Chain A
Amino acid sequence: MTHILLICKKELKSYFASPIAYLLMAFFGLLFGFAFYTATRDFVRFSFQSQMMGQAQPMNVNEQIIRPLLGFASTIALFLVPMITMRLIAEEKRTGTIELLMTSPVKDYEIIIGKWFGAIVLYACILGMSMINIAMLFLWGKPDLKPVLIGYLGLLLQGGCLLAIGTFISTTTKNQIIAGGVTFFVCLLFWLLSWFTAFDSGVVSQVINYLSIVTHMDNFQKGVLDSKDVVFYLSMIFFSLFMTSRAMDSLRWRA
Protein backbone atom coordinates (compact mmCIF):
# COMPACT_ATOMS: atom_id res chain seq x y z
CA MET A 1 0.00 0.00 0.00
CA THR A 2 2.84 2.42 0.77
CA HIS A 3 4.24 1.71 -2.68
CA ILE A 4 0.88 2.39 -4.32
CA LEU A 5 0.59 5.74 -2.58
CA LEU A 6 4.22 6.55 -3.35
CA ILE A 7 3.77 5.90 -7.06
CA CYS A 8 0.43 7.73 -7.09
CA LYS A 9 2.02 10.79 -5.49
CA LYS A 10 4.92 10.71 -7.94
CA GLU A 11 2.51 10.52 -10.89
CA LEU A 12 0.56 13.50 -9.61
CA LYS A 13 3.74 15.51 -9.15
CA SER A 14 4.74 14.70 -12.71
CA TYR A 15 1.34 15.76 -14.03
CA PHE A 16 1.49 19.05 -12.19
CA ALA A 17 5.14 19.63 -13.09
CA SER A 18 4.11 19.91 -16.74
CA PRO A 19 1.47 22.22 -18.19
CA ILE A 20 -0.76 19.29 -19.15
CA ALA A 21 -2.68 19.15 -15.85
CA TYR A 22 -3.38 22.88 -15.86
CA LEU A 23 -4.30 22.87 -19.54
CA LEU A 24 -6.79 20.08 -19.10
CA MET A 25 -8.32 21.75 -16.05
CA ALA A 26 -8.61 25.05 -17.86
CA PHE A 27 -10.01 23.39 -20.98
CA PHE A 28 -12.65 21.50 -19.03
CA GLY A 29 -13.44 24.45 -16.78
CA LEU A 30 -14.04 26.74 -19.74
CA LEU A 31 -16.21 24.30 -21.68
CA PHE A 32 -18.24 23.44 -18.64
CA GLY A 33 -18.60 27.10 -17.70
CA PHE A 34 -19.90 27.87 -21.14
CA ALA A 35 -22.38 24.99 -21.05
CA PHE A 36 -23.47 26.11 -17.60
CA TYR A 37 -24.03 29.62 -18.82
CA THR A 38 -26.21 28.48 -21.72
CA ALA A 39 -28.17 26.03 -19.61
CA THR A 40 -28.94 28.53 -16.84
CA ARG A 41 -29.76 31.30 -19.29
CA ASP A 42 -32.32 29.11 -21.03
CA PHE A 43 -33.65 27.90 -17.73
CA VAL A 44 -34.18 31.44 -16.48
CA ARG A 45 -35.82 32.45 -19.74
CA PHE A 46 -38.21 29.50 -19.68
CA SER A 47 -39.16 29.88 -16.07
CA PHE A 48 -39.77 33.54 -16.67
CA GLN A 49 -41.96 32.79 -19.66
CA SER A 50 -43.94 30.15 -17.89
CA GLN A 51 -44.64 32.52 -15.05
CA MET A 52 -45.74 35.21 -17.50
CA MET A 53 -48.19 32.83 -19.09
CA GLY A 54 -49.53 31.97 -15.73
CA GLN A 55 -48.74 28.29 -16.07
CA ALA A 56 -47.86 26.79 -12.78
CA GLN A 57 -45.58 24.17 -14.33
CA PRO A 58 -42.88 23.52 -11.76
CA MET A 59 -39.37 24.05 -13.00
CA ASN A 60 -36.74 21.65 -11.71
CA VAL A 61 -33.09 22.67 -11.44
CA ASN A 62 -31.95 19.07 -11.13
CA GLU A 63 -33.82 17.92 -14.21
CA GLN A 64 -33.22 20.89 -16.41
CA ILE A 65 -29.75 22.08 -15.56
CA ILE A 66 -27.77 19.52 -13.66
CA ARG A 67 -28.74 16.46 -15.63
CA PRO A 68 -27.80 17.79 -19.07
CA LEU A 69 -24.66 19.29 -17.62
CA LEU A 70 -23.59 15.93 -16.20
CA GLY A 71 -24.22 14.36 -19.60
CA PHE A 72 -22.09 17.04 -21.18
CA ALA A 73 -19.31 16.44 -18.66
CA SER A 74 -19.37 12.71 -19.30
CA THR A 75 -18.90 13.32 -23.02
CA ILE A 76 -16.03 15.76 -22.52
CA ALA A 77 -14.41 13.18 -20.23
CA LEU A 78 -14.03 10.90 -23.23
CA PHE A 79 -11.63 13.42 -24.69
CA LEU A 80 -9.75 13.99 -21.45
CA VAL A 81 -8.94 10.37 -20.72
CA PRO A 82 -6.47 9.75 -23.58
CA MET A 83 -4.54 12.88 -22.64
CA ILE A 84 -4.26 11.69 -19.05
CA THR A 85 -3.26 8.11 -19.66
CA MET A 86 -1.14 8.28 -22.80
CA ARG A 87 2.14 8.90 -20.98
CA LEU A 88 1.54 6.67 -17.95
CA ILE A 89 3.66 3.70 -18.95
CA ALA A 90 4.62 4.41 -22.57
CA GLU A 91 6.82 7.29 -21.41
CA GLU A 92 8.61 5.14 -18.85
CA LYS A 93 9.26 2.55 -21.52
CA ARG A 94 10.65 5.14 -23.89
CA THR A 95 13.01 6.79 -21.42
CA GLY A 96 14.04 3.56 -19.71
CA THR A 97 12.80 4.57 -16.26
CA ILE A 98 10.68 1.43 -16.37
CA GLU A 99 13.93 -0.35 -15.48
CA LEU A 100 13.91 1.39 -12.11
CA LEU A 101 10.32 0.33 -11.39
CA MET A 102 10.72 -3.21 -12.61
CA THR A 103 13.97 -3.88 -10.77
CA SER A 104 12.77 -2.41 -7.46
CA PRO A 105 11.09 -4.70 -4.96
CA VAL A 106 7.67 -3.49 -6.06
CA LYS A 107 4.90 -5.72 -7.37
CA ASP A 108 3.50 -5.12 -10.83
CA TYR A 109 0.02 -4.54 -9.43
CA GLU A 110 1.37 -1.85 -7.12
CA ILE A 111 2.86 -0.02 -10.10
CA ILE A 112 -0.35 -0.32 -12.10
CA ILE A 113 -2.75 0.66 -9.34
CA GLY A 114 -0.47 3.49 -8.23
CA LYS A 115 -0.41 4.93 -11.71
CA TRP A 116 -4.12 4.47 -12.20
CA PHE A 117 -4.83 6.16 -8.86
CA GLY A 118 -2.70 9.09 -9.94
CA ALA A 119 -4.70 9.34 -13.14
CA ILE A 120 -8.00 9.19 -11.24
CA VAL A 121 -6.97 11.92 -8.83
CA LEU A 122 -6.01 14.19 -11.71
CA TYR A 123 -9.30 13.36 -13.41
CA ALA A 124 -11.15 14.21 -10.20
CA CYS A 125 -9.31 17.54 -10.01
CA ILE A 126 -10.41 18.28 -13.56
CA LEU A 127 -14.03 17.37 -12.77
CA GLY A 128 -13.67 19.50 -9.66
CA MET A 129 -13.53 22.56 -11.90
CA SER A 130 -17.22 22.08 -12.59
CA MET A 131 -18.09 22.26 -8.92
CA ILE A 132 -17.57 26.01 -8.95
CA ASN A 133 -20.56 26.28 -11.24
CA ILE A 134 -22.63 23.66 -9.48
CA ALA A 135 -21.98 25.40 -6.16
CA MET A 136 -23.49 28.55 -7.67
CA LEU A 137 -26.69 26.61 -8.28
CA PHE A 138 -26.87 25.75 -4.62
CA LEU A 139 -26.48 29.36 -3.64
CA TRP A 140 -29.10 30.50 -6.04
CA GLY A 141 -31.64 27.71 -6.26
CA LYS A 142 -32.51 24.70 -4.20
CA PRO A 143 -31.48 21.59 -6.11
CA ASP A 144 -31.43 18.18 -4.45
CA LEU A 145 -27.95 17.28 -3.30
CA LYS A 146 -28.28 13.52 -3.59
CA PRO A 147 -28.69 13.24 -7.39
CA VAL A 148 -25.76 15.61 -7.82
CA LEU A 149 -23.54 13.39 -5.71
CA ILE A 150 -24.71 10.30 -7.56
CA GLY A 151 -24.01 12.04 -10.85
CA TYR A 152 -20.44 12.80 -9.79
CA LEU A 153 -19.98 9.26 -8.55
CA GLY A 154 -21.04 8.08 -12.00
CA LEU A 155 -18.58 10.43 -13.67
CA LEU A 156 -15.82 9.09 -11.47
CA LEU A 157 -16.72 5.47 -12.16
CA GLN A 158 -16.99 5.99 -15.90
CA GLY A 159 -13.71 7.90 -15.81
CA GLY A 160 -12.04 5.20 -13.72
CA CYS A 161 -13.12 2.64 -16.27
CA LEU A 162 -11.84 4.57 -19.28
CA LEU A 163 -8.63 5.46 -17.43
CA ALA A 164 -8.03 1.79 -16.70
CA ILE A 165 -8.45 1.01 -20.39
CA GLY A 166 -6.10 3.88 -21.22
CA THR A 167 -3.54 2.53 -18.76
CA PHE A 168 -3.71 -0.83 -20.49
CA ILE A 169 -3.17 0.72 -23.91
CA SER A 170 -0.25 2.78 -22.60
CA THR A 171 1.45 -0.43 -21.49
CA THR A 172 1.45 -1.88 -24.97
CA THR A 173 3.59 0.76 -26.67
CA LYS A 174 6.62 2.98 -26.22
CA ASN A 175 5.04 5.78 -28.16
CA GLN A 176 2.72 7.99 -26.15
CA ILE A 177 1.19 9.55 -29.25
CA ILE A 178 0.10 6.11 -30.38
CA ALA A 179 -1.11 5.29 -26.87
CA GLY A 180 -3.15 8.51 -26.79
CA GLY A 181 -4.50 8.02 -30.32
CA VAL A 182 -5.64 4.45 -29.76
CA THR A 183 -7.23 5.34 -26.42
CA PHE A 184 -9.06 8.23 -28.03
CA PHE A 185 -10.28 5.94 -30.78
CA VAL A 186 -11.53 3.40 -28.24
CA CYS A 187 -13.35 6.11 -26.24
CA LEU A 188 -14.91 7.44 -29.42
CA LEU A 189 -15.99 3.94 -30.38
CA PHE A 190 -17.76 3.45 -27.04
CA TRP A 191 -19.54 6.70 -27.52
CA LEU A 192 -20.61 5.98 -31.11
CA LEU A 193 -21.68 2.45 -30.30
CA SER A 194 -23.88 3.64 -27.48
CA TRP A 195 -25.64 5.87 -30.02
CA PHE A 196 -25.97 3.33 -32.80
CA THR A 197 -27.26 0.58 -30.60
CA ALA A 198 -29.52 2.61 -28.34
CA PHE A 199 -32.68 2.15 -30.42
CA ASP A 200 -32.06 -1.33 -31.75
CA SER A 201 -33.48 -4.24 -29.87
CA GLY A 202 -31.41 -6.98 -31.56
CA VAL A 203 -29.41 -9.19 -29.25
CA VAL A 204 -26.02 -8.10 -30.63
CA SER A 205 -26.94 -4.49 -30.30
CA GLN A 206 -28.13 -5.02 -26.78
CA VAL A 207 -24.90 -6.73 -25.80
CA ILE A 208 -22.78 -4.00 -27.35
CA ASN A 209 -24.99 -1.42 -25.75
CA TYR A 210 -24.53 -3.08 -22.40
CA LEU A 211 -20.75 -3.27 -22.77
CA SER A 212 -20.47 0.25 -24.03
CA ILE A 213 -19.23 2.04 -20.96
CA VAL A 214 -21.11 5.21 -21.75
CA THR A 215 -24.63 3.77 -21.46
CA HIS A 216 -24.18 2.91 -17.81
CA MET A 217 -23.85 6.61 -17.14
CA ASP A 218 -27.55 7.22 -17.93
CA ASN A 219 -28.89 6.14 -14.54
CA PHE A 220 -26.27 8.10 -12.65
CA GLN A 221 -27.21 11.17 -14.65
CA LYS A 222 -30.82 10.75 -13.64
CA GLY A 223 -29.69 10.53 -10.04
CA VAL A 224 -30.50 6.85 -9.81
CA LEU A 225 -27.95 4.67 -8.08
CA ASP A 226 -28.31 1.18 -9.50
CA SER A 227 -25.98 -1.46 -8.11
CA LYS A 228 -25.92 -3.15 -11.53
CA ASP A 229 -24.15 -0.14 -13.02
CA VAL A 230 -21.73 0.12 -10.13
CA VAL A 231 -20.88 -3.57 -10.43
CA PHE A 232 -20.43 -3.18 -14.16
CA TYR A 233 -18.00 -0.32 -13.76
CA LEU A 234 -16.05 -1.95 -10.97
CA SER A 235 -15.67 -5.19 -12.88
CA MET A 236 -14.60 -3.34 -16.03
CA ILE A 237 -11.97 -1.52 -13.98
CA PHE A 238 -10.77 -4.74 -12.46
CA PHE A 239 -10.66 -6.48 -15.83
CA SER A 240 -8.73 -3.66 -17.51
CA LEU A 241 -6.18 -3.43 -14.71
CA PHE A 242 -5.80 -7.18 -14.78
CA MET A 243 -5.14 -7.02 -18.52
CA THR A 244 -2.58 -4.29 -17.83
CA SER A 245 -0.70 -6.58 -15.47
CA ARG A 246 -0.73 -9.32 -18.11
CA ALA A 247 0.65 -6.81 -20.61
CA MET A 248 3.41 -5.81 -18.16
CA ASP A 249 4.32 -9.43 -17.82
CA SER A 250 4.53 -10.02 -21.53
CA LEU A 251 6.50 -6.80 -21.84
CA ARG A 252 9.06 -8.50 -19.66
CA TRP A 253 9.15 -11.57 -21.84
CA ARG A 254 9.39 -9.72 -25.11
CA ALA A 255 11.50 -6.73 -24.12
Chain B
Amino acid sequence: MIKVEGLTKRYARTVAVNDISFEVEKGQIVGFLGPNGAGKTTTMRILTGFLPATQGKASVAGFDVHESPMEVKKRIGYLPETPPLYPEMEVSEYLEYAGQLKGITTGDIKRRTDDAIGRCSLGEVRSKLIGKLSKGYRQRVGIAQAIIHNPDVLILDEPTSGLDPKQIIEIRELLRALSGEHTIILSTHILSEVEHSCERVIIISQGKLVAQDSVANLTNRLRGSEAVALEVAPVEGRPAATEVQQRLEQVSGVSRVMMKDARDGRLVFEVESLQGRQIRSELARTVVNAGWNLNELRPVGLSLEDIFLQLTGAEQKDEQEGGKK
Protein backbone atom coordinates (compact mmCIF):
# COMPACT_ATOMS: atom_id res chain seq x y z
CA MET B 1 0.00 0.00 0.00
CA ILE B 2 2.83 2.35 0.85
CA LYS B 3 6.21 1.97 -0.72
CA VAL B 4 9.22 4.11 0.03
CA GLU B 5 12.52 3.66 -1.77
CA GLY B 6 15.74 5.45 -0.98
CA LEU B 7 13.92 8.49 0.30
CA THR B 8 16.16 11.42 1.16
CA LYS B 9 15.27 14.94 2.23
CA ARG B 10 17.92 17.58 2.56
CA TYR B 11 17.28 20.97 4.08
CA ALA B 12 19.75 23.81 3.71
CA ARG B 13 21.86 22.59 6.63
CA THR B 14 20.51 19.22 7.72
CA VAL B 15 19.80 15.90 6.11
CA ALA B 16 16.46 15.24 7.76
CA VAL B 17 15.80 11.91 6.08
CA ASN B 18 18.64 9.82 4.78
CA ASP B 19 18.04 7.02 2.27
CA ILE B 20 15.05 5.37 3.93
CA SER B 21 13.25 2.43 2.35
CA PHE B 22 10.27 0.52 3.64
CA GLU B 23 6.96 -0.97 2.63
CA VAL B 24 3.64 -1.15 4.38
CA GLU B 25 1.06 -3.77 3.50
CA LYS B 26 -2.62 -3.03 3.14
CA GLY B 27 -4.47 -3.08 6.46
CA GLN B 28 -1.38 -2.88 8.64
CA ILE B 29 -0.82 -0.48 11.49
CA VAL B 30 2.77 0.61 11.50
CA GLY B 31 4.47 2.63 14.20
CA PHE B 32 7.08 5.12 13.23
CA LEU B 33 9.33 5.37 16.23
CA GLY B 34 12.21 7.75 16.77
CA PRO B 35 13.56 10.43 19.11
CA ASN B 36 13.07 14.16 18.50
CA GLY B 37 14.48 15.31 15.20
CA ALA B 38 14.66 11.79 13.81
CA GLY B 39 12.84 12.73 10.64
CA LYS B 40 9.41 11.26 11.33
CA THR B 41 7.44 14.40 10.48
CA THR B 42 9.55 15.02 7.40
CA THR B 43 8.92 11.51 6.06
CA MET B 44 5.19 11.86 6.66
CA ARG B 45 5.10 15.22 4.95
CA ILE B 46 6.71 13.70 1.90
CA LEU B 47 4.21 10.83 1.87
CA THR B 48 1.30 13.25 2.02
CA GLY B 49 2.64 15.40 -0.78
CA PHE B 50 3.21 18.41 1.45
CA LEU B 51 6.95 18.35 0.84
CA PRO B 52 8.86 17.06 -2.17
CA ALA B 53 11.69 14.61 -1.57
CA THR B 54 15.23 15.53 -2.52
CA GLN B 55 15.85 12.00 -3.75
CA GLY B 56 14.08 8.68 -3.88
CA LYS B 57 10.56 7.57 -4.54
CA ALA B 58 7.44 7.18 -2.51
CA SER B 59 4.14 5.75 -3.63
CA VAL B 60 0.77 5.30 -1.99
CA ALA B 61 -1.79 2.81 -3.33
CA GLY B 62 0.31 2.47 -6.45
CA PHE B 63 0.42 6.18 -7.23
CA ASP B 64 3.70 8.04 -7.15
CA VAL B 65 3.59 10.89 -4.64
CA HIS B 66 5.42 13.24 -6.95
CA GLU B 67 3.85 12.30 -10.26
CA SER B 68 0.19 11.96 -9.31
CA PRO B 69 -0.22 13.95 -6.10
CA MET B 70 -3.98 14.37 -6.55
CA GLU B 71 -4.62 10.63 -6.64
CA VAL B 72 -2.46 10.16 -3.56
CA LYS B 73 -4.11 13.01 -1.66
CA LYS B 74 -7.57 11.59 -2.35
CA ARG B 75 -6.57 8.38 -0.61
CA ILE B 76 -4.80 9.80 2.40
CA GLY B 77 -6.06 11.13 5.69
CA TYR B 78 -3.40 13.13 7.44
CA LEU B 79 -3.10 14.44 10.95
CA PRO B 80 -0.15 16.85 11.00
CA GLU B 81 1.97 17.34 14.11
CA THR B 82 -0.03 20.49 14.94
CA PRO B 83 -3.67 19.78 14.12
CA PRO B 84 -4.63 22.15 11.27
CA LEU B 85 -7.59 23.85 12.95
CA TYR B 86 -9.30 27.21 12.48
CA PRO B 87 -10.08 28.61 15.95
CA GLU B 88 -12.92 30.78 14.63
CA MET B 89 -14.90 27.80 13.32
CA GLU B 90 -17.26 25.47 15.13
CA VAL B 91 -16.29 21.81 15.28
CA SER B 92 -19.01 20.53 12.94
CA GLU B 93 -18.59 23.48 10.59
CA TYR B 94 -14.85 22.78 10.40
CA LEU B 95 -15.35 19.09 9.75
CA GLU B 96 -17.80 19.88 6.96
CA TYR B 97 -15.26 22.23 5.41
CA ALA B 98 -12.41 19.71 5.70
CA GLY B 99 -14.61 16.93 4.34
CA GLN B 100 -15.63 18.95 1.31
CA LEU B 101 -12.01 19.89 0.65
CA LYS B 102 -11.36 16.17 0.50
CA GLY B 103 -14.05 15.74 -2.09
CA ILE B 104 -17.12 14.67 -0.11
CA THR B 105 -20.24 15.87 -1.91
CA THR B 106 -22.74 18.26 -0.35
CA GLY B 107 -25.35 15.53 -0.25
CA ASP B 108 -23.09 13.28 1.78
CA ILE B 109 -21.33 15.73 4.02
CA LYS B 110 -23.78 15.88 6.92
CA ARG B 111 -23.80 12.12 7.34
CA ARG B 112 -20.01 11.83 7.11
CA THR B 113 -19.56 14.63 9.62
CA ASP B 114 -21.89 12.99 12.10
CA ASP B 115 -20.06 9.73 11.58
CA ALA B 116 -16.63 11.27 12.26
CA ILE B 117 -18.00 13.14 15.27
CA GLY B 118 -19.38 9.89 16.63
CA ARG B 119 -16.22 7.92 16.06
CA CYS B 120 -14.03 10.50 17.77
CA SER B 121 -16.55 11.12 20.60
CA LEU B 122 -16.93 14.79 19.79
CA GLY B 123 -20.69 14.91 20.31
CA GLU B 124 -20.50 17.18 23.36
CA VAL B 125 -18.46 19.85 21.62
CA ARG B 126 -19.86 19.72 18.10
CA SER B 127 -21.16 23.28 18.14
CA LYS B 128 -18.33 24.78 20.18
CA LEU B 129 -15.72 27.08 18.71
CA ILE B 130 -12.49 25.20 18.10
CA GLY B 131 -10.50 28.02 19.70
CA LYS B 132 -12.24 27.27 22.98
CA LEU B 133 -11.49 23.55 23.07
CA SER B 134 -8.93 21.84 25.29
CA LYS B 135 -5.79 20.38 23.73
CA GLY B 136 -7.15 16.85 23.86
CA TYR B 137 -10.36 17.77 22.09
CA ARG B 138 -8.43 19.64 19.43
CA GLN B 139 -6.34 16.58 18.83
CA ARG B 140 -9.53 14.56 18.40
CA VAL B 141 -10.96 17.09 15.95
CA GLY B 142 -7.69 16.70 14.07
CA ILE B 143 -8.17 12.94 13.95
CA ALA B 144 -11.82 13.34 12.91
CA GLN B 145 -10.65 15.54 10.06
CA ALA B 146 -8.23 12.83 8.95
CA ILE B 147 -10.79 10.03 8.87
CA ILE B 148 -13.84 11.92 7.62
CA HIS B 149 -13.49 10.88 3.96
CA ASN B 150 -12.79 7.26 4.87
CA PRO B 151 -9.33 7.20 3.27
CA ASP B 152 -7.42 4.04 2.45
CA VAL B 153 -4.34 5.30 4.22
CA LEU B 154 -4.12 7.19 7.48
CA ILE B 155 -0.97 9.09 8.35
CA LEU B 156 -1.02 10.33 11.91
CA ASP B 157 1.81 12.41 13.33
CA GLU B 158 1.85 11.83 17.09
CA PRO B 159 -1.90 11.21 17.38
CA THR B 160 -1.90 10.80 21.16
CA SER B 161 0.20 13.80 22.10
CA GLY B 162 -1.57 16.01 24.61
CA LEU B 163 -4.22 13.46 25.51
CA ASP B 164 -4.97 12.19 29.00
CA PRO B 165 -4.57 8.45 29.72
CA LYS B 166 -8.26 7.74 29.26
CA GLN B 167 -8.31 9.51 25.92
CA ILE B 168 -5.14 7.70 24.85
CA ILE B 169 -6.90 4.40 25.44
CA GLU B 170 -9.90 5.62 23.46
CA ILE B 171 -7.71 6.66 20.56
CA ARG B 172 -5.95 3.31 20.62
CA GLU B 173 -9.31 1.59 20.43
CA LEU B 174 -10.36 3.86 17.60
CA LEU B 175 -7.18 3.03 15.71
CA ARG B 176 -7.69 -0.65 16.26
CA ALA B 177 -11.25 -0.34 14.94
CA LEU B 178 -9.98 1.54 11.91
CA SER B 179 -7.21 -0.89 11.05
CA GLY B 180 -8.09 -3.74 8.80
CA GLU B 181 -9.82 -1.64 6.18
CA HIS B 182 -7.36 1.22 6.58
CA THR B 183 -3.61 1.19 6.41
CA ILE B 184 -2.23 3.32 9.22
CA ILE B 185 1.15 4.87 9.88
CA LEU B 186 1.50 6.67 13.17
CA SER B 187 4.55 8.34 14.60
CA THR B 188 5.52 8.51 18.21
CA HIS B 189 8.54 8.64 20.42
CA ILE B 190 6.93 6.50 23.08
CA LEU B 191 7.80 2.84 22.92
CA SER B 192 4.73 1.58 24.76
CA GLU B 193 2.54 3.41 22.27
CA VAL B 194 3.87 1.19 19.53
CA GLU B 195 3.48 -1.94 21.63
CA HIS B 196 -0.16 -1.13 22.23
CA SER B 197 -1.37 -0.08 18.82
CA CYS B 198 0.94 -1.36 16.13
CA GLU B 199 1.69 -4.58 14.36
CA ARG B 200 4.94 -3.42 12.87
CA VAL B 201 7.45 -0.86 13.87
CA ILE B 202 9.88 1.20 11.86
CA ILE B 203 12.55 2.82 13.96
CA ILE B 204 14.46 5.80 12.66
CA SER B 205 17.09 7.88 14.27
CA GLN B 206 18.92 10.89 12.85
CA GLY B 207 17.24 10.39 9.52
CA LYS B 208 18.36 6.79 9.13
CA LEU B 209 16.33 3.64 9.31
CA VAL B 210 17.56 1.72 12.33
CA ALA B 211 15.26 -1.26 12.51
CA GLN B 212 12.14 -2.55 10.92
CA ASP B 213 10.35 -5.47 12.45
CA SER B 214 7.09 -6.82 13.73
CA VAL B 215 6.25 -5.59 17.19
CA ALA B 216 6.21 -9.16 18.47
CA ASN B 217 9.78 -9.72 17.29
CA LEU B 218 10.94 -6.43 18.65
CA THR B 219 9.51 -6.99 22.09
CA ASN B 220 11.03 -10.46 22.08
CA ARG B 221 14.37 -8.96 21.36
CA LEU B 222 13.90 -6.55 24.19
CA ARG B 223 11.84 -8.58 26.59
CA GLY B 224 13.48 -9.52 29.80
CA SER B 225 16.55 -7.49 29.21
CA GLU B 226 16.74 -5.17 32.13
CA ALA B 227 18.88 -2.32 33.26
CA VAL B 228 20.08 -2.00 36.83
CA ALA B 229 21.52 1.01 38.59
CA LEU B 230 24.17 -0.03 41.07
CA GLU B 231 26.10 2.06 43.56
CA VAL B 232 29.28 1.00 45.32
CA ALA B 233 30.90 3.07 48.06
CA PRO B 234 34.70 2.67 48.08
CA VAL B 235 36.58 2.94 51.36
CA GLU B 236 39.89 4.85 51.19
CA GLY B 237 40.08 4.67 47.42
CA ARG B 238 39.42 0.94 47.25
CA PRO B 239 38.12 -0.63 45.13
CA ALA B 240 39.09 1.40 42.04
CA ALA B 241 36.40 2.06 39.51
CA THR B 242 38.04 -0.01 36.78
CA GLU B 243 38.28 -2.95 39.09
CA VAL B 244 34.56 -2.83 39.87
CA GLN B 245 33.71 -2.43 36.23
CA GLN B 246 35.78 -5.43 35.23
CA ARG B 247 34.30 -7.58 37.96
CA LEU B 248 30.74 -6.61 37.00
CA GLU B 249 31.36 -7.34 33.35
CA GLN B 250 32.33 -10.87 34.26
CA VAL B 251 28.98 -11.58 35.92
CA SER B 252 27.12 -13.99 33.69
CA GLY B 253 24.15 -12.49 31.84
CA VAL B 254 25.57 -8.97 31.80
CA SER B 255 25.72 -7.37 28.38
CA ARG B 256 27.01 -3.93 29.18
CA VAL B 257 28.37 -1.95 32.13
CA MET B 258 28.46 1.81 32.04
CA MET B 259 30.04 4.13 34.56
CA LYS B 260 27.49 6.85 35.33
CA ASP B 261 28.96 8.83 38.17
CA ALA B 262 32.05 8.84 40.37
CA ARG B 263 31.69 11.80 42.67
CA ASP B 264 31.68 12.21 46.43
CA GLY B 265 33.32 8.83 46.87
CA ARG B 266 30.47 6.98 45.17
CA LEU B 267 30.69 4.82 42.10
CA VAL B 268 27.47 4.55 40.16
CA PHE B 269 27.11 2.06 37.32
CA GLU B 270 24.37 1.12 34.97
CA VAL B 271 24.35 -2.55 34.11
CA GLU B 272 22.30 -4.05 31.30
CA SER B 273 21.43 -7.70 31.04
CA LEU B 274 21.16 -9.98 28.06
CA GLN B 275 17.66 -10.97 27.03
CA GLY B 276 15.74 -13.03 29.49
CA ARG B 277 18.41 -12.93 32.20
CA GLN B 278 17.83 -11.89 35.78
CA ILE B 279 21.05 -10.42 37.04
CA ARG B 280 20.17 -8.51 40.16
CA SER B 281 20.86 -11.18 42.76
CA GLU B 282 24.04 -12.26 41.01
CA LEU B 283 25.27 -8.67 40.94
CA ALA B 284 24.56 -8.20 44.62
CA ARG B 285 26.39 -11.39 45.49
CA THR B 286 29.41 -10.40 43.43
CA VAL B 287 29.74 -7.03 45.11
CA VAL B 288 29.27 -8.37 48.61
CA ASN B 289 31.60 -11.33 48.09
CA ALA B 290 34.31 -8.96 46.98
CA GLY B 291 33.93 -7.22 50.31
CA TRP B 292 32.73 -3.91 48.90
CA ASN B 293 29.93 -1.73 50.26
CA LEU B 294 26.79 -2.05 48.18
CA ASN B 295 24.82 1.19 48.62
CA GLU B 296 22.05 0.75 46.12
CA LEU B 297 20.73 -1.72 43.59
CA ARG B 298 17.61 -0.81 41.67
CA PRO B 299 16.06 -1.67 38.32
CA VAL B 300 15.73 1.17 35.79
CA GLY B 301 13.61 1.09 32.64
CA LEU B 302 15.24 0.98 29.26
CA SER B 303 15.04 4.37 27.63
CA LEU B 304 14.44 4.83 23.96
CA GLU B 305 18.11 5.70 23.60
CA ASP B 306 19.14 2.42 25.22
CA ILE B 307 16.88 0.58 22.84
CA PHE B 308 18.46 2.29 19.89
CA LEU B 309 21.85 1.33 21.18
CA GLN B 310 20.76 -2.22 21.70
CA LEU B 311 19.25 -2.43 18.26
CA THR B 312 22.01 -0.73 16.41
CA GLY B 313 24.75 -2.62 18.17
CA ALA B 314 28.03 -1.49 19.62
CA GLU B 315 29.72 -0.03 16.53
CA GLN B 316 27.20 2.74 16.29
CA LYS B 317 27.59 3.48 19.98
CA ASP B 318 31.32 3.87 19.58
CA GLU B 319 30.75 6.05 16.57
CA GLN B 320 28.45 8.32 18.51
CA GLU B 321 30.78 8.56 21.47
CA GLY B 322 33.71 9.16 19.19
CA GLY B 323 31.69 11.91 17.55
CA LYS B 324 31.07 13.62 20.85
CA LYS B 325 34.75 13.79 21.79
Interface residues of A (CB under 8 A from B): 2-3, 6-7, 10, 13-14, 17-18, 95-107, 252-253, 255
Interface stretch among B97-105, B271-279, B280-288? Answer: B97-105
A27 shortest CB reach to chain B, Å: 21
* Chain A minimum-CB-distance residue to B78: A103
Contacts between the two chains (Cβ within 8 Å), count: 67
Known A-B contacts A99-B78, A103-B78; the reply to A3 vs B84 at CB < 8 A is no
Which 9 pairs show the lowest CB-CB distances between chains A and B?
A: A100-B84, A17-B88, A104-B101, A105-B73, A97-B84, A99-B80, A96-B82, A103-B48, A105-B74
Taking A3-B101, A104-B102 as known contacts, 8 extra A-B pairs with beta carbons closer than 8 A to each other, sorted by chain A number, are A18-B88, A96-B84, A97-B84, A97-B85, A98-B84, A99-B80, A102-B50, A252-B51
B contacts with A: majority SS: loop
Query: Once bound together, how far apart are the Cα atoms of A17 and B88, in whole Å?
Result: 7
Q: Is the CB of A102 within 8 A of B49?
A: yes
What is the number of residues of chain B that contact chain A, defined by CB distance less than 8 Å?
27
Interface residues of B (CB under 8 A from A): 45, 48-52, 70, 73-74, 76, 78, 80-82, 84-86, 88-89, 93, 97-98, 100-103, 145
Identify A14's interface contact among B73, B81, B88, B98, CB under 8 A. Answer: B88
Interfacial chain B residues near A3, Cβ < 8 Å: 100-101
Query: Once bound together, how far apart are the Cα atoms of A98 and B45, in whole Å?
Result: 12
A contacts with B: majority SS: helix
A99 shortest CB reach to chain B, Å: 4
Identify A10's interface contact among B48, B49, B97, CB under 8 A. Answer: B97
Query: What are 21 pairs between A and B in contact, CB < 8 Å?
Result: A3-B100, A3-B101, A6-B100, A14-B89, A18-B88, A95-B85, A96-B80, A97-B86, A98-B84, A99-B45, A99-B50, A99-B80, A100-B84, A103-B49, A103-B78, A103-B80, A104-B102, A105-B74, A107-B70, A252-B51, A255-B51
B53 shortest CB reach to chain A, Å: 11
B153 shortest CB reach to chain A, Å: 12
